[in-house]
Structure 1
Amino acid sequence: MTSSHTEAPTPGDSRGKRKSRIWKVIVLIGLVTIPVIYASLLTSSFSDPINRLDNVPAAVVNQDVAASANGTKLDIGATLTDELVSSTAKNNFVWREYGAEEASAALDSGEVYAVLTIPRSFSSDALSVAGDHPTPAKLKIETNDGANMFAGTIAKQLGTTVADTLATQVSEEYLGNIYAGFNSAHDGFANAADGATQLADGTSEASDGAGQLNMGLDQLVTGSADLADGTVALADGAEQIDSGAQTLADGGSALHDGAVQLADGAGVVNTGAEQLRDGASQVADGTQQLADAVDAVNEAVSPLAQSVATLSEDASTLTDGASGVATSADDLLANWDALGDDEKRQLVEQLSTDAGAVRDGLDGALASMGQTDLSGVDQLGNLSTSIHDLNDGAQQVATGAADLADGTSELAGGADTLADKSGDLANGISDLADGTGTLYDGAIQVRDGAQQLSDGTVGAADGSASLADGLIQLVGGSDELATGLEDGAEQVPTYSDSESDQLSEVAADPVQFDELRRNEVARNGDGMAPYFMALGLWVGGIGFYLMNEPLARAKGSGPSFVDALRSFLPGAAMAVGQSILLFVAIHGLVGVEYANPAGLLSMMLLASVTFIAINQALIALLGAPGRYFALILIVLQLASAGATYPVETAPELFQALNPWLPLPYAVDAFRSLIAGGSIGVADAVTQLLVWLAVALAMTTLAIMLKRVKDGKTSWGSNPKVTSPAVKDSASASPQGELTV
């Protein structure tokens, strides 16, 4: 008996199936989201570039010089520059004012996408539209296809709009004035016709007046001859007046010099007189003091004379007394021994000596008094009398000196006044001399002019006769002028205000626009080629690792970096082949011209190798999800590359991503190398090398992680090793198509 049963699934098998189902769901969700991500990101990046032009930098160079004509002044360059710089319109570039050289350098470097130049003669050319020699006013806009071809197209449209706007303004304003001027011209012709008629009437009257003028000129001829004779006599008299005035001027100058000298001398005399007055006053004061002293001495001497006489008598008596004292002292000294006292003896001896001295002194006084001559007392009285007389004379001298000083002071003041007035007189005489000289010169000119007048009146008389004949002819010509002006006024058209406005609007466009594109590419395809070439190289990297294992050549021995390079070599070789084939096809089959073929091929090789390395690293490190991220990364790069419109017109997210992704750098470099220039080339080389190094490092890390997971230090001898990420991917697929 045979029995059969079904084995129950183990818990491990259940978990594996559940995990496989979850993985399938994740893969399906990822695949479903790819179209959504691609379409939404790319659509978003191109959603509204025209209304984001205010992020695109551009330069305006204003070289215009303000001009004026017929009372109208224009400075279009300054006005246009202000409007562009201050514009906040979303569909306009963000303009900044540059110098010419600065703007050119900015355009070459890709700092700006367009340069609008307003030439020096723009305003004057705009004014010339209403003149006799109109010259179109021109604007120039310059772009660089090496930066972005479509930016040039947009700039051209903006420049054309600006030129059309300016042309409309200029036409409406100035051509309107011209047509309005036709009406004024019509009125002017009519007025001129009226004036010509009046002229004819006036010339007829002038003809009559010319006859009267001729008669008056005959009388003028006779009078001018008499005037010429009189002016000759006037010139002779003026010459004599001039000669006398010169002599008077010389005398006035001499008078002034003498008055100046008199004033100087009077000043000196006045100074001396003042000094004499001061000295005489001092002498008078001194003699008065002397007289007073002599009087006092005289009064004192009279009693002295009497006292001296009395003293003489008393001195004799004193002498006798002194002699007696001396004798008494001598006697006392002789009897002094009886006293017996040495001290008293000494005193007595001293008394005797003093008494002798008194005696001797009195004798001398008497002798002196006997020799004194008292006759001088009488002379002092005489001296007092003389001094009083001297004092009276000194008082008189002082009084005279004071009067002299006052007189000389008045003399000095008068001399100064005389000097001043004589100077004025000299100046006046000098002016008179000059005036007489001018009078003489004028008389000569009058004489000559009178002679010329006489000659001219003769000629005028002859001319007046001719004038009369000419006026007769003018009358006839003015009639013809009036007729012709009337005919001309009828031929000049007139316009109403509405007609003038209409003609202004349809007038020829006075503003022209010149476009210059640096590094111009021939076709739109040439402008889009950089974008599609970078995209093709990236897709080539993805395709290569769809068909090949990223770590197929890893030996599992030696340094991990060597294994990474060994695994990278097949992809690098494919990158070289793809690049060369793409380079040849784009030029040979599509017809794109390369401005720098060698540089472009080198950049394509670097970009292709870098893209291969990035795709290898993503798949080696993440497995099947790495392919998914490679697909997402390419759409992010496409949306951020600014391939058509400048990246500044993309939403902020893509502007932020642009500097961090490798493909936009490749696009910028390809564009410059195809069109010309070097915008972005150096940055592309740097960024792509950095990305290449990071990708190789990621691949090296994937190898290291694989070795750690396997618990080995080497990969063993089997050259075909399946990475853990790929094994997981293969187990998730029933067919195992991802297993290599």
Structure 2
Amino acid sequence: MKNIFRIFSKDVKNTGTNWVALILIGGLIILPSLYAWFNIKASWDPYGQTDQIPIGVVNEDTGATVRDEDIDVGQELVDNLKENRSMDWHFEDRDEAMDNLENGDYFAVIVIPENFSSKLSTVVNDKPEKAEMEYYVNEKINAIAPKITDKGASAITDEISSNFISTVNGVIFDMFNDIGIELEQDLPDIERFENYIFNLEENLPEIKQLVDQSLTDASSAEEMINQAQALVPEAERVTNDGLNTIDNTTAFLNKAEDRLNEVAPQIQADLERVQQVADETNTFLKEVQSAGIDFGSGTDLTNQLDEQVTQQIEAISSIEETLRQVQQQQNENVEEGENGDTPDQGAGEGNQGQGSQQIEQALQELATIRAGLETAQERSNDVRTFIQDKQSEVEAVFNDLQGLVENTSANIDAFVTEYNENIEPKVLAEVDSAKTTLAEARGILVDIQTAIPEVERILGSTEADLGDGKGMLEKVQNEFPYVNDKVNELADRIREIQGETDIGEIIELLRNDPEAEQGFFAEPVQLNENKLFPIENYGSGMTPFYTVLAIWVGGLLLISLLSTDTTNMESYSSRQVYFGKLFTFMTIGFLQSTIVSLGDIFLLNVSMASPGWFVLFGLLISLVFMIIIYTLVSVFGDIGKAMVIVLLVLQIAGSGGTYPVVLLPEFFQVIHPFLPFSYAIDLMREAVGGIVWDRVLHDILFLGIFGIAAIILGAFLKQPINRQSKKIKQKSKESGLFH
């Protein structure tokens, strides 16, 4: 033990008596602190200086119009960024901004495209489109800067999204409020609609019956239209035949009228001749009566009388024949009319029938007159016989004959008057009436003939429409089961809703404060941050890592300049040399750790929860690190130095000092538990953030294991390993490259 302290005392004495050694040792004590302090200060608050990061902003947005209102989201964003100090925003055109980005003057460029507002405005359409912004970043400039600028770009999109959602939801809830008011106003109509659904459900069987009946009626109507269409050609034929019949009947009437006009003068002359003969006979009888009758010449008189009567009878027969011809012609017209199929011809036939009756009446009167004349002629024969038998009765017979002739003359006068005033005018009037009726009937048939194509077209169109209607009815009939199910389902759903939900509650839910709802959706979730172990800034958070690193670097500097062996090696054993020099390294390590720890506290003002424990933990870490470093170099020589450097590299990457271990590659996650840095950094973090003693004891335990393992290695393996390492060291010196 004395030799161990003798070696340590000698090192202390040599340092104190040699000013060069003192300066070098002083430098070795302070240098690790500078390494830690500069790195901590450099990373003190990098995220608080993001306003110095230049980012280009290019606004190409042309705006849009939504419901007659102009919007320009791009310009609004630019106006907001001009008031934003989170980054160093530069507003330029695309070409200039991209040139600055390529040259490294800008870390990133954000481009707002020309359709930015128009795409945002599609939120009111059936198919809304997402708006996009272009983001360009120069990752070559710095590894961390792109992450910071990404956060800036994300913050912009989050702000736009938040404002957009807030605005849209404000409009939506404003609409909900209006809907609630309208629902409240329309509540009676809603209740009526419910009743309507229930009534519809109740009347569905009757509706089904009506649909089936309508479909049957449509089929019947379709058959009737088909029959009507089949009758159109027949109606056209009958109309054409009716026109021909009317034209023929009109021709017959014209002929009858012409014939009547032709025989009228003859009838008039015959009537005048009959009337004249009657007058002459009457005069003759008066003369015979007034004059003395020569019964000897009675035969001549009766012959003369008989001759005159015969002439009258012939005249009457002529008139009868003429009237019968007219009557026959009218009857032929009537028969022609009866063959026609138009209802309007009946009127003409009626008029012709009345004319025939007048002629028949005239014929009967003429027959009466003729019968009288024939009676007179018979009496004339009687006179002739009677004259021969009874002269005394001649006068009575003449008186009778004279009365009969006078009677006949009066009847003839009455007939002439009747013929002139009634028979002939009525016959002519009835012919004219028949012609007028036929003309009107012809006009009607012409109209019918003209209308037949239109009727045919209407029937065709009606058939097509009826076919469509029938198809629609069939579709309704086919769809009726679905409609029936849906109406019943809707009615059941309404009853279910009535049982579960009060529409008044729905109205109350819809009626809200749009501004309050808008504020809610602008930030529906507020993050209440509770810092369990608060650390003021990034530099304070990185202090444990850089302090531990400085302590290891301090040990690395010591083994680079100080020797792990002593003079007069023969006087001491390997174990004595190991422990004697270890105390020297440990003492300098303690000084290094104390200076760096106190400098963190007082020079940098690092925020710490437990500054005293921070210094003590630093001393413990320095002790363990120095044991490990010194042991490796003392045992393995130059190879040990390489091992220390390799350990440094692995621990910087795998200890979790900068990034969480879970983010590291799998290799570093595997070696993490076997690195002294892992526990040293955690121990220093406990002092900076707040001590959890379970974790402190855990870290101290594993650091102690590392230290004890190193001591065991140095105490028991230094001598055998040194024998082998001397050969390697001698060989390396022979190269002239190593000392």
TM-score normalized by the length of structure 2: 0.32
